[in-house]
Structure 1
Amino acid sequence: MLTRPRTRFDLIPRRVRVHAVRELSGSLRRTTFRDVDGADPAAPTSLAALRAPGPEDHVKVFLPDPATGVLHAPWIAADGGLQRPADGVSISRDYTVRATRTVDGVAELDVDWVLHGDEGPASAWAARAQEGDEIVLAGPRGSLGVPEGLGRLTVVADETGLPAAARWVDAVGPGVPVTAIVEIGDDVDEAHVEAELGRASVEILYRTDGPGQVEEAVRSLGGLEADELLVALGEAGELVPVRRYLRRELGVGPEQLSISGYWRRGVVNLDHHLPLDPTDPD
C-alpha cells in the first residue's frame, strides 16, 4: 500500500515583497518573493524558515485591499488559527509553492499565477505586481510527501495544477516513470509545459477542443499498476468524472489517488480541501 508521509508545521504569517516578475507563457506569470526590507533572516517569520517539502504544499496568499491598496495582515489567534483584522478587507487565496531557494545567502520563494483579467482579486493583483509590492504568505501548515515504494506516477493537470505537477516530477526522482496529461488554453505554449515537466511523457490537450477530453485521456491509459499513484489537479468539474471512473469502475483505492479541485467554474474562491465529489466523499 502506498502511504504518503505527513509533516505538520507551525502556521506562521510572513510579510514578503516582490523581488522579480517573470512572464512564463501567455496567461502564466511568476513572482519571486523575498523578505521585506529590515526583516531578520534568522527569525521564524523569515522565508528562510519556511518549509515546503511536499510537491503539493501551498501557502495562503493575503492580498492588499483592491480598493485602497492597504495590506491588512493576519495574525495567529489563541487557538492557533489565522485571525483576520475586523476593520479592513482581507482577501486570501491558496497557491502552490513553486520553488524555494537561497541566492547569495538570501531566501527566495516562487509563486506561479494564472491571469484571467480582473475577474478575480488574485489575478488582478498578479497582473500588476511589480518589484517592492508587499503581501503576506501564511503556511504551509502541513506537508504530504512522496509515498515510499512508488513505481510509477501519472499526473493530470491544467494551468493551475502545473506548478504542483512540475514539483511532483522533480520529487519522485529519475527512476520513476512519469506520464502527464495537461489541459491548457490556446495562449499557453506547449514548449513551456514540456519544459516545466522535464523528463515526463507529456500529452497536451487544448481546452478549446471541448469538454470531456481529460476523462477520455485518463481512460485511454487503462488501469493503474499496484505501485502507481495518480495525481489530478485542476478544474473540479473536469476531475469528478475522472475520479468516478477510477474509484467506481476500476475500483482504485484512495491510497493510489490524490485528486484535488483547485477551482470550479462559476464558484468564487473554491475550498480545495472540501470533497471533490460530494456524492462520494471518501
Structure 2
Amino acid sequence: MSVATTLVQSLRKRLSKPAGYQLFDIRLKYSIALSPSLKRFVFSGSDVGLMRTLGPDQRVKLFFPSANGTPPNLPRHGDWQAARRQASAQCATPMRTYTIRNLRPETCELDIDFVLHGETGPASRWATHATPGDRLQIVAPNGAYAADPGG
C-alpha cells in the first residue's frame, strides 16, 4: 500500500467520525416564570434526542434571530462558523453562552433558564418576547460522539 493511499484512508476515517459538538435545531415548547426576572424555557425537537450533557453545568451556545428578525438558519453540516462570520451585520446571528438546566433526550426536551433584563441584548430581548414555536439553534455535545469532547 502506498503512502498516499494510507493517508487518504486515514483522512477518510477521521472525517467520518462524528464531531464532539454539533449544531442542532430547537423550538420553544413553553416557558415557566420562576420569578419576576427569571424564566425557564423548555425547548423541543427531534434533534434534542441526539444531544448529551457531560456534567450538571453543561455550557452550550444559543443562536438568536438576527437584527432584522430572521430566525437563525446556519448550515447544520459543514462550516457553520464560516457562514456566521460571512453574514452581513443585519443578517448576523447573535450567539450567547448558556447552561443546560435539564436535558431529557428520551422526550426530546431541553430546559434553559434566562435572566430577564429588558431589551438590553439579543438573548434578553428574545426571552422577553418569545412565544411557543419560536426557533433557535444550539451548539451542544453530540450524543454520537463517544469520547470526551472537552479540551
Does the TM-score normalized on the shorter chain lie above 0.5? yes
Q: Which residue of 2 aligns with 1:55?
A: 56
Distance 1:130 1:49, change over 3 A: same
Q: Which residue of 2 aligns with 1:126?
A: 127
TM-align CA RMSD:
2.3
In 1, Cα distance between the equivalents of 2:34 and 2:73? Answer: 29
Q: Which residue of 1 aligns with 2:35?
A: 25
In 1, Cα distance between the equivalents of 2:23 and 2:82? Answer: 10
In 1, Cα distance between the equivalents of 2:39 and 2:107? Answer: 22
In 2, Cα distance between the equivalents of 1:17 and 1:110? Answer: 11
In 2, Cα distance between the equivalents of 1:125 and 1:84? Answer: 22
CA shift for structure 1 position 89: 1.1
In 1, Cα distance between the equivalents of 2:70 and 2:137? Answer: 13
Q: Which residue of 2 aligns with 1:66?
A: 67
1:95 corresponds to 2:98: yes
Which has more radius of gyration? 1
CA shift for structure 1 position 143: 6.8
CA contact (8 A) 1:64 1:70 kept: yes
Q: Deviations over 1:117-160 (max 9, x none)?
A: 0011100001111100000011237677xxxxxxxxxxxxxxxx
Q: Deviations over 1:90-124 (max 9, x none)?
A: 1100100000125xx53100000001100111000
CA contact (8 A) 2:102 2:111 kept: yes
Gaps of 5+ in 1: 1-8, 36-40, 145-282
Q: Deviations over 1:200-235 (max 9, x none)?
A: xxxxxxxxxxxxxxxxxxxxxxxxxxxxxxxxxxxx
Gaps of 5+ in 2: 1-18, 143-147
1:138 corresponds to 2:139: yes
CA shift for structure 1 position 75: 4.3
Amino acid at match of 2:57: E
In 2, Cα distance between the equivalents of 1:93 and 1:29? Answer: 16
Normalization by structure 1: what TM-score? Answer: 0.40
The number of residue pairs the alignment matches comes to 123
Amino acid at match of 1:113: F
In 1, Cα distance between the equivalents of 2:118 and 2:138? Answer: 22
3-state SS, counterpart of residue 97 of structure 1? strand
